[in-house]
Protein backbone atom coordinates (compact mmCIF):
# COMPACT_ATOMS: atom_id res chain seq x y z
CA UNK A 1 0.00 0.00 0.00
CA UNK A 2 3.04 2.27 -0.01
CA UNK A 3 2.25 4.87 -2.63
CA UNK A 4 3.88 8.15 -3.51
CA UNK A 5 3.39 10.64 -0.71
CA UNK A 6 0.92 13.41 -1.49
CA UNK A 7 2.97 15.68 0.76
CA UNK A 8 4.46 17.29 -2.31
CA UNK A 9 0.98 18.39 -3.31
CA UNK A 10 -0.02 19.45 0.21
CA UNK A 11 -1.17 22.98 0.67
CA UNK A 12 0.17 25.32 3.33
CA UNK A 13 -0.41 28.91 4.26
CA UNK A 14 2.76 30.97 4.25
CA UNK A 15 3.41 33.95 6.51
CA UNK A 16 5.60 35.49 3.80
CA UNK A 17 8.86 34.49 5.47
CA UNK A 18 9.04 31.13 3.77
CA UNK A 19 7.90 29.16 6.84
CA UNK A 20 4.36 27.77 6.83
CA UNK A 21 2.03 29.61 9.21
CA UNK A 22 -0.16 26.50 9.39
CA UNK A 23 0.73 22.86 9.01
CA UNK A 24 0.33 21.48 5.52
CA UNK A 25 -3.16 20.01 5.24
CA UNK A 26 -4.23 17.16 3.00
CA UNK A 27 -7.76 16.37 1.85
CA UNK A 28 -9.16 12.85 2.00
CA UNK A 29 -9.41 12.96 -1.81
CA UNK A 30 -5.66 13.63 -2.19
CA UNK A 31 -4.78 10.70 0.07
CA UNK A 32 -7.32 8.42 -1.63
CA UNK A 33 -5.75 9.19 -4.99
CA UNK A 34 -2.25 8.43 -3.68
CA UNK A 35 -3.38 5.18 -2.01
CA UNK A 36 -5.65 4.11 -4.91
CA UNK A 37 -8.61 3.62 -2.55
CA UNK A 38 -12.04 5.18 -2.08
CA UNK A 39 -12.42 8.43 -0.13
CA UNK A 40 -14.64 6.67 2.43
CA UNK A 41 -11.73 4.35 3.24
CA UNK A 42 -9.47 7.31 3.97
CA UNK A 43 -12.16 8.93 6.16
CA UNK A 44 -12.54 5.69 8.12
CA UNK A 45 -8.76 5.35 8.63
CA UNK A 46 -8.34 8.93 9.86
CA UNK A 47 -11.66 9.54 11.68
CA UNK A 48 -10.31 8.78 15.16
CA UNK A 49 -6.69 9.84 14.66
CA UNK A 50 -5.37 12.51 16.99
CA UNK A 51 -4.49 15.74 15.23
CA UNK A 52 -7.03 15.50 12.39
CA UNK A 53 -8.98 18.72 11.90
CA UNK A 54 -12.75 18.27 11.88
CA UNK A 55 -14.93 21.13 10.70
CA UNK A 56 -18.68 20.80 11.06
CA UNK A 57 -21.48 23.11 10.11
CA UNK A 58 -24.94 23.47 11.55
CA UNK A 59 -26.33 22.53 14.91
CA UNK A 60 -27.81 19.18 13.88
CA UNK A 61 -31.31 19.89 15.14
CA UNK A 62 -33.19 19.54 11.88
CA UNK A 63 -30.56 18.67 9.33
CA UNK A 64 -27.73 16.23 9.00
CA UNK A 65 -24.43 17.64 10.20
CA UNK A 66 -21.67 17.30 7.61
CA UNK A 67 -18.09 17.08 8.81
CA UNK A 68 -15.17 18.18 6.65
CA UNK A 69 -11.80 16.75 7.63
CA UNK A 70 -8.28 17.89 6.84
CA UNK A 71 -5.28 15.73 7.65
CA UNK A 72 -2.02 17.45 8.65
CA UNK A 73 1.00 16.09 6.79
CA UNK A 74 2.57 14.99 10.10
CA UNK A 75 -0.49 12.87 10.95
CA UNK A 76 -0.46 11.38 7.44
CA UNK A 77 3.21 10.43 7.80
CA UNK A 78 2.59 8.90 11.26
CA UNK A 79 -0.30 6.77 10.01
CA UNK A 80 1.71 5.65 6.97
CA UNK A 81 4.55 4.57 9.25
CA UNK A 82 2.15 2.66 11.56
CA UNK A 83 0.39 0.94 8.66
CA UNK A 84 3.62 -0.10 6.93
CA UNK A 85 4.84 -2.20 9.84
pLDDT tens string 4-58? 455 444 444 444 455 455 669 999 999 999 999 999 999 999 999 999 999 987 7
pLDDT for 68: 93
Q: What is the pLDDT of residue 72?
A: 96
Residue 54 lies in a domain: yes
Domain boundaries, position 65: 27-83
Report the alpha-carbon distance of residue 38 to residue 31 in Å, rounded: 9
Q: Residue 2 domain-assigned?
A: no
What's the total number of domains in the chain? 1
DSSP 3-state helix, strand, coil percentages of the chain (rounded to 5)?
35, 20, 45
pLDDT at residue number 20: 54
Q: Measure the CA–CA gap between 45 and 57, rounded to whole angstroms.
A: 22
Report yes or no on 1 lying in a domain.
no
Instruction: Give the pLDDT of residue 6.
Output: 56
Amino acid sequence: MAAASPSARARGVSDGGGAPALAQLLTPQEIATAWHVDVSTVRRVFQDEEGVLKLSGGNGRKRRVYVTIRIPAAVYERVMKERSR
